[in-house]
Amino acid sequence: MDKSVLKGKLLDAVEARADDIIAVGQWIWRNPEVGFKEHKTAEYTSSIFKGLGLEVEEKIGLTGLQTVIKGRDDRPNIAVIGELDALTIPEHPDSDPVTGSVHSCGHNGQMANMIGVAMALVDSGIMEHLDGSVTCMAVPAEEPIDIEWRRELYSEGKLYFLGGKQEFIKDGYFQDVDISLANHMATNTDWKIAVRGGEGPQPGGVGFMGKMIRFKGAEAHSGAAPWNGVNALNAANIAMSAIDAQRDTFKDSDAVRVHYFITKGGDAVNIVPSEVRMEMMIRAASVDAIKDASMKVDRALKGGAMALGAEVEIDNIPGYLPSPKQGSDALWRNMRDNVAEIFDEENTLMGVVNPSPIRTPHGAVSDINDVASIMPKASFGVGGAIGVGHSRSYSIVDPYAAYVMPAKLYAGMVLDLLWDGAKLARQVIDEYEPEVQKSGYMDYWKDILES
């Protein structure tokens, strides 16, 4: 069989499913659910996979699922990753009237892309020509929100991480995966597919760790006898000032950001606050910078408590790793070549978008970094949405660009990777140096949290 004929057949299979793929994206847009609560979306996805005759493994990381589409060999195994979760923005016109949830990060698009490639791989019968497998993953909870509730699940032993991909890693679901493919939607209509970065070391994204903080003082009558109290809010106030006083010790190149909010400031205005709770994120471009900032923050928190004679409890929470310094050049080249081959030039954006000498042009975090730290990963930008991500103005205006085109790119890459003895996939795997060994992943995180 001629490779280019088969590739044409596979891309045609995506095109033939365009209406179905768009319908999937729109159904998920209309049924938004936040992380680890994506029950409807998971059931919907599962029913589509089963309709394709695929076996589905469900309830991975609480609400996630996956299906393995087998070729002539089990390995190499390429994962195509979609994210199930939405955000909570009640002000958004399309938000769920009960929960306030809405897909204003565009994860519904990723789901449609991932399901679309599954449809095309099955419809085309292509897998009988490919020397490896494809695992389509629907992963929960990319957004690190609802921290207090997720921490309760942690206490109950139901979760360890805040993010779904890390739960998949922890539970061994990436053990048999060799290469991961993913994407994320951007808000823009100038291009439809963007290949960022290039070969060699790349500026990447930050990682983070979380903290849940509890100051404990003593309540007293604020008017009659405040001297009998220990004001936990004043302790928190001093701690916040002490954190601010250290900001100029954070190096620009580390892109440290420490941000927090008070989730409980006291019980009543006429009672000396005896309990104050805070949630915090510490972001930075390297694990060492995260550890350093965490140490300084802990010092400040303890200092605030000490000044007032209060107590402070600090609960360190695993966040997401910073993106690795070096990705897979061979995989990046294949993504670029497929974009050039499949799409018209005016629809694409190629090359380095952020040639910043600082390694962290992007202050947002994603748990895809944890996947990229243990295996070769390619991800690309997707257009078709406008407005501001994570806000009420976000909407998808070009369904074909958002939902269908990325499925074509996945399809093209999967075919190239697994063609002819999976030569290209094997090259990608052989050349790749992981930042973190799969087997050492949990210990790596424990070291960050305990330092």
**What does the binding site for Zn ion look like in residue numbers (CB under 5 A)?**
105
Nearer to Zn ion, 178 or 370 (CB): 370
Nearer to Zn ion, 390 or 426 (CB): 390
Q: How many CB atoms lie within 10 A of CB 442?
A: 15
Nearer to Zn ion, 105 or 112 (CB): 105
d(CA 29, CA 21): 12
Closest CA to 379 of 412, 406, 346: 406
d(CA 83, CA 112): 10
- The answer to whether 177 and 135 have CB atoms below 8 angstroms apart is yes
Nearer to Zn ion, 105 or 213 (CB): 105
Nearer to Zn ion, 86 or 118 (CB): 86
E strands, 125-174, are: 133-139
Task: Name the phi and psi angles at 219, rounded to 5.
Answer: -80, 155
First vs last C-alpha separation in the chain: 56
Q: Which two tokens stand for residue 433?
A: 């140096």
Contacts of 92 (CB under 8 A, 6+ apart): 102, 104, 391, 392, 394
Closest residue to bound Zn ion by CB: 105
> How, if at all, do strands 377-386 and 207-216 pair?
unpaired
What 3-state class would DSSP assign to 319? Answer: strand
* Least spacing, CB of residue 88 vs Zn ion, in Å: 12
* Least spacing, CB of residue 316 vs Zn ion, in Å: 23
Nearer to Zn ion, 129 or 184 (CB): 184
* Least spacing, CB of residue 381 vs Zn ion, in Å: 12
Q: Nearest 5°: CA angle at 448, between 378 and 258?
A: 85
* Least spacing, CB of residue 111 vs Zn ion, in Å: 12
Nearer to Zn ion, 105 or 374 (CB): 105
* Least spacing, CB of residue 237 vs Zn ion, in Å: 31
Nearer to Zn ion, 303 or 389 (CB): 389
* Least spacing, CB of residue 184 vs Zn ion, in Å: 6
Nearer to Zn ion, 87 or 239 (CB): 87
Reported for 95-99, long-range contacts at CB under 8 A and 24+ positions apart, including other chains, are 95/32, 96/31, 96/32, 99/32, 99/33, 99/34
* Least spacing, CB of residue 245 vs Zn ion, in Å: 31
* Least spacing, CB of residue 392 vs Zn ion, in Å: 14
> How, if at all, do strands 77-83 and 179-187 pair?
parallel
* Least spacing, CB of residue 82 vs Zn ion, in Å: 11
Distances (CA, A) of 201 to 28, 253, 329, 428, 436: 36, 15, 9, 16, 16
